[in-house]
Structure 1
Amino acid sequence: MKFGKELASQMVQEWGEAYMDYNYLKGVLKDISGFRRRNAAAAATRKNSLKRRVSMYRAFSGLTNRLGSPGSDHEDEVILVNAVEQEGIIGAPQYQTVFLMSSEAGGEYELVFFRRLDDEFNKVLKFYREKVEEVRREADELSKQMDALIALRIVVEKPSDINGAQSQTRRDSAVLIEAKSHMDAIQEIEKSGEEVAGTTTMADQKNTRNEEEKTNNFTDFRPAPLHVLYDVRVNILPETPISTLKNILKASNSELKYNPAELRKAEERLRKAFMEFYGKLRLLKSYCFLNTLAFSKIMKKYDKITSRKASRSYLEMVDKSDLGSSDEVSRLMERTEATFIKHFVNGNRRKGMSVLRPRVKREKHRIAFFHGLFSGCSIALIVAIIVSIRASYLLQNEGSDRDRDQFMENIFPLYSLFGFIVLHMLMYAGDIYFWRRYRINYSFIFGFKQGTELGYRQVLLIASGLSVLALAAVLSHLNMEMDPETRSYKVLSESVPLILISLLLIITFCPLNIMYRSSRFFLITCAWHCICAPLFKVTLPDFFLADQLTSQVQAIRSFEFYICYYGWGNFRQRSNTCQDSDVYKLFYIIVAAIPFVVRLLQCLRRLFEEKDNNQGLNGLKYFTTVAALVLRTLYEQNKGTTLHVLAIAFSGITTITNTYWDIVIDWGLLQRNSKNPWLRDKLLVPNKAVYFAAIVVNIILRLTWMQLVLDFKISFLHKKAVVAIIACLEIIRRGIWNFFRLENEHLNNVGKYRAFKSVPLPFNHEVDRSM
């Protein structure tokens, strides 16, 4: 693999613009090489006025001078690299290269090369310095957090046998309690304005702290000082329903409770913070290594093309700069490893390193094998179903209208649910494939646990396995015969769809470590956050899942039909009266509106938290969608001219606003002044026609929902089939939307260099109360 491709494959995509532009510099070298070839060809056609080469007239340096001697160091010197201090910034110089051969023919090309090389190096160096300073600040904060955590451990766990420190620990705990009482007294004095008494109390507090620090000196063991807990409060964020309600009611208590539950919560938060911090250090070290290697590669290419020896001087400068000589990141990594192993895995190095450096998941051949097997079985079952329908003339033979209607009204909705799920999974597998192909960091954006995210092969395996079960059940239903005496079907055979959906739910909620448990629980957690909206803090996976559910309205209604059909219908005779029930009609509207209401509540939560007006407009969009959905459903149930006009009007408004929002806001396209006309400045798909095709397809598929309210008659299709086809087209549209939505999100992260999750720390360090 060429180095340019290797660099692109290993770089942190969110930091892509901060890496050395290797391909651009290689293009400049191609210009130099092209000029030298043209110059050599022109020289060969010229008459040779000299019989000897020009190099033979060069000054003789002597026979005794050896390579590397003081006299030869500057003989072939090509460049001089100078460090120039930036104005107002001490200790952060920029580097400028002086090309000494600019007067030669073609020297202007090489001069341009070194100018661009300096620009790239200074860019890389500036970014690296900023990131090192950032991790240095984070390391200081994590150190304070660890001091507070260790002190909290001492108070809560009261260690009794640590090198004879039992009595000292008790004295420290007593000192802490006494100090806390002093702090409470200070608060009361500050409220009453008694400044003199307050000064006295502060003096007592300082004496208490000095006394505690004196008693902390052990011969063999010195526990962490407990005074760090004086100014520490619990960091409570409105992320969960309880914390959100407390925040709304202003009843949030940030005082430390000194109990095991508080300790476990703090340990878990800090554990995650250390894992994220270590991941950032690893990528920062990789960033340093890849860029150093890139400069080495490009300089060696320059030497090879120009037959000069400039790489040694330039690379010596790179090695002496912060990029090559700073080992602060390596030291931080070592200290982070030692801290994590000691304090979070009880000294087990193997376990600690497996957590900090999870292994890359390998693709297993059996996944591809079973996916191929299930796919082949699915195709065979589809062919068998078609042949069975044609053979029995279920849909075409005279007198079979009643059987056809009975099947479409009662059995078809049961199995269409599985079709919607499988189709959505197929589209999701396609999204994953193209996200990986165009290096969209979907696992980071969604917040998947490293090493547990599903690849497209795993998703295809699940989809094909589910399709085999569903298609086999459909085929068995087609071949079932009614008992001529009772005119009913067998209970077990008619319960196949119910058994299948029950099996699917059992596997989804199974707590055992089988069938991608991490991914299943991630899905359940996001679904629970959607159900409890707006009590949970809204993250991208939550509203992304809610958007998926808005495209699964018919699947959600199929769940309602399951309850009605098997609970109140006569499933043994394949008949039901669900559509005639007012309660069923009411819930038919409610369950379809739930995903849109969830998105509305999520938008409102983000509007109040982030103060983003776009979230308010987005919420208004979902409100109009709910109105259009309700009116459309009421028209289907009751008909009427007024309802028809209102349904058409609201559906038209919703279609226009949703289409505009999809293309302009979610995808970031149709930017008039962008580098790519009517698209956006940055595109990951090289073929621009793909974006225009996606815009057209999105508009067409959005308009298909108007069929439900315009009520065009399609004589050769049953109404249930028309609804299912439109639902499938909406799922396809959502799959296309997913790719471009996440591409836009990825580019936004790249533009802000966001490559890590922000983990909330457990403690807040308050300022001195005397101030």
Structure 2
Amino acid sequence: MKFAAHLSAHITPEWRKQYVRYEYLKEMLYYAQEQAPPPDTSDEETIRRYYAKFDQKFFTQCEQELNKINMFFSEKLAEAHRKWANLHSELQLAKSRRTEDTISTIKNRASTRKDSIFPATLIVTDKRQKVLAQHARKISDLKLAFSEFYLSLILLQNYQSLNFTGFRKILKKHDKVFDQDSGTGFRVNKVESAPFYTNKQIDKLIHECEETYISELEEGNRTRAMKRLRVPPLVDQESPKTTFFMGFFSGSVAFMSVAIIIIAIFVSEYHRDSSWSAYVTIYRGMFLVIFLTGLLGVNTFGWRKYGVNHVLIFELDPRDHISFHELLEVAFFLATVWCMSVILFLFSPVIGVDRFVSPLACFAFFVFFLFNPIHSFKYKARFWLIRYLFRIVTAPLFPVSFPDFWLADQLNSLSTMLLDMEFLFCYYIFELDWFITPQNDDTKICGSYRYGVRIIVAMLPAWFRFAQCLRRYYTTKKVHPHLVNAGKYSTTFVVVSLSAAVSLYKENHGFHYTPLLVCWFLACVMSSCYTLSWDLKMDWGLLSFSTSSPSSSADSGDVGGDWCHNALLREETVYPSKAFYYFAIVQNSLLRFAWCFSYACTVGGFMDSNLLTCVLSVLEVFRRFMWNYLRLENEHLNNCGEFRATRDISIAPLEEDHQALLCEMMDNPDMLIRRRTPNFSPGLIQYSNETKHLLARSNTNDPSLNVQQGPGQSPDEEDDDDD
């Protein structure tokens, strides 16, 4: 593998612009070689001056890159010191609280009234169980925080290695192209003496983090500790088992899809009654779930390929999360079950099986696959989905994070699926000949707004997002964007209400009421314009009319990024093709107004409404698939602006009075002095005199900022190894 591809595959996406611009420097070398004066028509002095001028420009650019890397490394190193001090303090605080809780429990036992109607032992036992449960949660949070901190250290260590290798490669290429040794001299004199390469504090922090985690959190079990701290591979590794099943299920789906079409032609005479449309509705909801799952697998592949860190954005475990191979495997597996159920349904009159059995069995299997408690069938991914679905349903009771509102947005595109599930329950409870006599067609209630249940179900996805926006406003007190976004989803309530009114009026009178129809049409136009503008400007961050000069665009040269002037786009984009963005804008605009086509076909009687719903629901899922690419790209670029590559997990709350102090500590790495003893002991975190002075000025009892002086070191001593 060429180094450029290796660098692009192994960089931390959020730090992309902070790496050495290897491709840009390589292009400089090749361009200079192409533009060099020809030896047969130029004298040696002209050629010498040309290469001398280029070397000055090239090494000036290399020095700028070196300064950029040194500065960024120093900032991240200071941040690592600050996080390590906080983590260590929180660990000591957890240990001290456990001791205090134990002493408090003993005192409570002694002071329990002898004439209490409850035995003292039961009271103490209950309190002890609560104390142990709180301590267990604290230790679990600490383990997670330590693992994330350890991952950030490995990423910074990888940052050191990749940049040094990049400099070594490009300087070696310089000497090879121009037959010189000035590149080697620059590497020896500049690069090998640069702080980002000579500083070994990250290696020591990694060692101390490992030792502390093993001794304090895993009771000396090194194997178990290192398994938890294990850093995942930077490139997804496909499992042979996953590959086999994905190929097997995809082939099965392809074969059975052709079989379904052929079988439907020959057995259609057995399905000419009105129930055919009902079963199409039931199967459609399950198909939409399968279709969206498969497209999410494609989404994940694209995010991974172009460096969008979806693992961080979705707050997944970087050591154990579902890959795009596994998502596609799940989608093809569920599609195989769905196709088998459809074939069984088509053959049901021939083999003498009731038609309602197959759709119900398929739906029951889907529910069992999602909610079964067995630690298999992608258990962690299913648990993640169930947990966030619960948070969505109970909104606005919980704080809202990106996975919450992203998943709720997916449900908004699956509103047809929710209505189909409502129809399924209604059909099997009220219309199927199980417990009651089948009703006449004119008295059927399934698929009608007559009883109000369907209206509520149609509003549920918009309500989830509306409630989340209110919760975010309650948390941040920001009218824009949260209340403005809530207004966007409130337009759905108006549209659904008017749509139900139009449907009921036609159902009762046999024709449309024109004023009501006009109100519905205007509400749809308002809602579509509102949502479209929000998609393009807020969710995707597009429609930027700021300009950038061509020279600044050409000199950007960041690894994999693209700074240029893009009409109606943003200055920075992740995906290489500009046509992709313009296609996403056009298709999103058209599909946001697809209801116009639905209205024209339904009122004019050009197409069956159920068939039209099938087409438009599939197109809406595809629109959400495209929306996912640009929405996560926008979130990823926000993380890049903050250089945030790992989850920030804090155990102890940060007081406002300490914010300025910690920022100063992060900016000045000399303020934090750590011991370098071979037998490192947890708790021996030491600070310089400047840090101790600032801590003394804070006048706080917060244990997370207590200073602990190590034995054998006077207050005036400082470690000369720290930079």
1:122 — aligned with what? Answer: 67
Pick one of 274, 290, 293 that aligns with 1:405.
274
Residue of structure 1 aligned with 2:282, choices 393, 414, 431: 414
CA 33–524 in structure 1, closer or farther in 2 if over 3 Å, else same: same
> What corresponds to 1:592 in structure 2?
458
Quick one: distance in 2 between partners of 1:293 and 1:143? Answer: 33
Which residue number corresponds to residue 629 of structure 2?
Answer: 739
Q: What's the CA shift for 1:634?
A: 2.5
Confirm or deny that 1:630 pairs with 2:493.
no
CA contact (8 A) 1:22 1:294 kept: yes
Measure how far apart 1:23 and its partner are.
Answer: 1.3
1:72-92 Cα offsets, whole Å, 9 max, x none, are xxxxxxxxxxxxxxxxxxxxx
Counterpart residue identity of residue 19, structure 2:
Y
Aligned residues with identical type, % of pairs: 27
Q: Which residue of 2 aligns with 1:367?
A: 242
Correspondence for 2:167: 295
Amino acid at match of 1:699: S
The DSSP-based 3-state class of the residue aligned with 1:554 is helix
Instruction: Report the more deviating stretch, 441-450 or 454-463.
Output: 454-463
- What CA distance in whole angstroms lies between the structure 2 residues aligned with 1:326 and 1:468? 55
1:265 and 1:762 map into 2 onto residues whose CA distance is: 13
User: What displacement does 1:358 show?
Assistant: 4.4
Read off the aligned partner of 1:461 and give its amino acid letter.
Answer: E
Show the counterpart of 1:657.
530
Aligned with 1:41: secondary structure? coil
Residue from 103, 109, 112 that aligns with 2:54: 109
Instruction: Tell me, yes or no, if structure 1 residue 464 matches structure 2 residue 332.
Output: yes
Query: Given the two structures, how large is their TM-score scaled by the length of structure 2?
Result: 0.79
Name the residue aligned to 1:134.
79
Q: How far off its partner does 1:433 sit? A: 2.0
Shift of 1:12: 0.5
Cα shift at 1:35: 4.7
**Aligned partner of 2:92 among 131, 143, 147:** 147
Equivalent residues in 2 for 1:510-525, closer than 5 Å? 510-525=372-387
Task: Note if contact 2:344-2:358 (Cα within 8 Å) is conserved in structure 1.
Answer: no
Cα distance, 1:481 vs structure 2: 2.6
| Code of the aligned partner of 2:490 | F
Task: Give secondary structure in 1 for the equivalent of 2:431.
Answer: coil
TM-superposed deviation, 1:103: 8.1
> Aligned in 2, Cα 1:373/1:695: closer, same or farther, shift over 3 Å?
same
- The one-character-per-residue Cα deviations of 1:713-747 (angstroms, maximum 9, x if unpaired) are 57574321111211111111111111111112112
SS at 1:679 equivalent: coil
Contact 1:564 1:578 in 2 (8 A): no
Gapped regions of structure 2 (runs ≥ 5): 111-127, 507-512, 548-564, 658-697, 703-723
Contact 1:534–1:605 (8 Å) recurs in 2: yes
* 1:764 shift after superposition: 5.8
**Cα shift readout 1:452-505 (whole Å, capped 9, x = no counterpart):** 33222222222222222222222222233399xxxxx855x5222222212211
Name the aligned partner's letter for residue 476 of structure 1. Answer: L
Structure with greater contact order relative to length (CA < 8 Å, sep ≥ 6): 2
In structure 2, the residue matched to 1:263 is 135
Select the residue among 347, 354, 361 that pairs with 1:499: 361
Name the CA shift for 1:385/1:109 in 2 (closer, same or farther; >3 Å).
Answer: same
TM-score computed with the length of structure 1 as normaliser? 0.74
Note if 1:695 corresponds to 2:585. Answer: yes
Question: In the alignment, which residue of structure 2 is the partner of 1:441?
Answer: 309
1:103–1:481 Cα change, 3 Å:
closer
Amino acid at match of 1:279: L
One-letter amino acid of the counterpart of residue 139, structure 1: W
SS at match of 1:152: helix
1:725 to 608, 615, 636: 615
**CA positional deviation for 1:115:** 1.1
Residues 206-225 of structure 1 correspond to what in structure 2 (within 5 A)? none
> In structure 2, what residue type is equivalent to 1:405?
S
What residue number does 2:668 align with? none
The alignment of Structure 1 onto Structure 2 pairs a total of residues equal to: 612
Amino acid at match of 1:534: P
Conserved? CA contact 2:426–2:446, under 8 Å: no
CA contact (8 A) 2:146 2:213 kept: yes
Q: Which residue of 2 aligns with 1:41?
A: 40
**What displacement does 1:151 show?**
1.0
1:339 match: 212
User: Following TM superposition, by how much is the alpha carbon of 1:584 offset from its aligned partner in structure 2, in angstroms?
Assistant: 6.3
Q: Distance in 1 between matches of 2:147 and 2:267?
A: 62
Q: CA RMSD in A?
A: 3.1
SS at match of 1:259: helix
2:30 maps to 30
1:642 CA displacement? 2.9
Q: Match for 2:322: what amino acid?
A: L
**What whole-Å deviation, never above 9, does each CA across 1:408-435 have from its counterpart, x for those lacking one?**
1x22112111211111112212212222
> SS of the counterpart of 1:126?
helix
The one-letter code of the counterpart of 2:315 is: G
Question: What is the letter of the counterpart of residue 443 of structure 1?
Answer: V
- 1:561 equivalent to 2:451? Answer no
Matches within 5 A, 1:67-216: 104-156=49-101
1:247 maps to none
Contact 1:156 1:260 in 2 (8 A): no
Shift of 1:105: 4.0
Letter in 1 for 2:379: R
CA 1:482–1:714 in structure 2 vs 1: closer, same or farther (change >3 Å)?
farther
CA contact (8 A) 1:371 1:460 kept: yes
C-alpha distance in 1 between matches for 2:514 and 2:94: 68
Aligned to 2:570: 680
* Residues 557 and 588 in structure 1, CA contact (< 8 A), matched pair in contact too: yes
Would you say the 8 A contact 1:632–1:709 is kept in 2? no
Q: What letter matches 1:7 in structure 2?
A: L
Given that residues 440 and 746 in structure 1 are in contact (C-alpha distance below 8 angstroms), is that contact kept between their aligned partners in structure 2? Answer: yes
Is 1:642 matched with 2:494?
no
Alignment check: 8 A CA contact 2:532 2:592 kept: yes
Residue 627 of structure 1 contacts residue 650 of structure 1 at CA under 8 Å; is this kept in 2? yes
Q: 1:538-553, aligned counterparts within 5 Å?
A: 538-553=400-415
Match in the other structure for 1:757: 647
Residues in 2 aligned to 1:10 and 1:694: alpha-carbon distance in whole angstroms: 28
- Per-residue CA distance 1:559-583 (angstroms, 9 max, x = gap): 2122211222224698775527988
Contact 1:565-1:571 at 8 Å conserved across structures: no
Measure how far apart 1:34 and its partner are.
3.2
Structure 2: distance between partners of 1:693 and 1:336 = 48
List runs of 5+ in structure 1 lacking aligned partners.
49-53, 55-100, 159-169, 178-255, 484-488
Alignment partner, residue 222 of structure 1: none
Q: How far apart in 2 are the matches of 1:121 and 1:411?
A: 66
Max Rg structure? 1
Tell me the distance in 2 between the aligned counterparts of 1:17 and 1:769.
Answer: 39
